[in-house]
A = this chain, B = another copy of it.
Amino acid sequence: MKPFSSYQNPSLAVDLVVFGYSKQQLSVLLLNRKEAPYQDGWVLPGAFLQMEERFRDTCSRVLKTKLGMDDVYMEQLYSFDEPERDPRGRAIAVAYYALVNPARVAIAAGSMANDVAWFNIKELPELGFDHRAIFDMAVQRLRSKITYFPVGFELLDEQFTMPELHELYECILDTTIDRRNFRRKILDSAYIISTGTKREGAQNRHPDLYTFNKQLKQNSFQINV
């Protein structure tokens, strides 16, 4: 058995669509490039895959370096192979999307704080490379995913109220959802559990607090849009 001959291989990068939800806004994390191509333009954060690294490790490295974040939910999105996608040469990108709670993240801790910013997903600047296409696919995937799997919890605090979860869904799906029917479906799925406590401090009735049921591995629900 021979090892691989030293063929020329395309560069292999991992690009990340990092979603954050805060103040009823769904945002995505962008990086301001300091070098050509797309100097001073905005792009998705990413990095080249190191030789013995797995995609997830590359993602974690980027998230750690640029945001000081650990333990982030992520999922492989798609691999992009358009030959002209990088003007520097042939480069393949494996895209991942990540869901983070910006409140728990200190961008300031990263080494590139000045170059990183959250953008509301409806007000994105023009993106370099093919990153707009990657972003679009990520939004589509996220929208599809939350309708049948509880990924939304990744964007919220450990404990959250039903109205918070409801607003998150309305924001991501960009629609209105009857709150009473929403509550019933989510609770029926058993993916969330009441903590038995209420959020104090509101000027009105104190809403019940819930938490994600991590025990539950297999179940399903369906939020229709």
A-to-B contact residues, CB < 8 Å: 1-4, 7-12, 35-37, 48-49, 51-52, 54-55, 76, 78-79, 81-83, 87-92, 94
The residue from B36, B51, B79 contacting A10, defined by CB atoms under 8 A apart: B51
Quick one: which of A10, A35, A54 has the most chain B CB within 10 A?
A: A10
Q: Which residues of B contact A94 (CB under 8 A)?
A: 79, 81, 92
Shortest Cβ distance from residue A214 to the other chain B in the assembled complex, whole angstroms:
23
The residue from B3, B9, B79 contacting A9, defined by CB atoms under 8 A apart: B9
Shortest Cβ distance from residue A93 to the other chain B in the assembled complex, whole angstroms:
10
A4–B83 CB distance below 8 A: no
The 6 closest A-B pairs by CB, nearest first: A1-B36, A9-B9, A4-B89, A79-B79, A55-B81, A54-B81
24 contacts between A and B (CB under 8 A): A1-B35, A1-B37, A1-B87, A1-B88, A2-B88, A3-B89, A4-B11, A4-B88, A7-B11, A7-B48, A9-B10, A9-B11, A9-B12, A10-B12, A10-B49, A10-B51, A12-B12, A12-B92, A52-B83, A54-B82, A76-B78, A76-B79, A79-B94, A92-B94
Give Cα distance in the complex from A54 to B51, angstroms.
22
Give Cα distance in the complex from A91 to B5, angstroms.
12
User: Residue on B with the closest CB to A49?
Assistant: B10
Shortest Cβ distance from residue A140 to the other chain B in the assembled complex, whole angstroms:
14
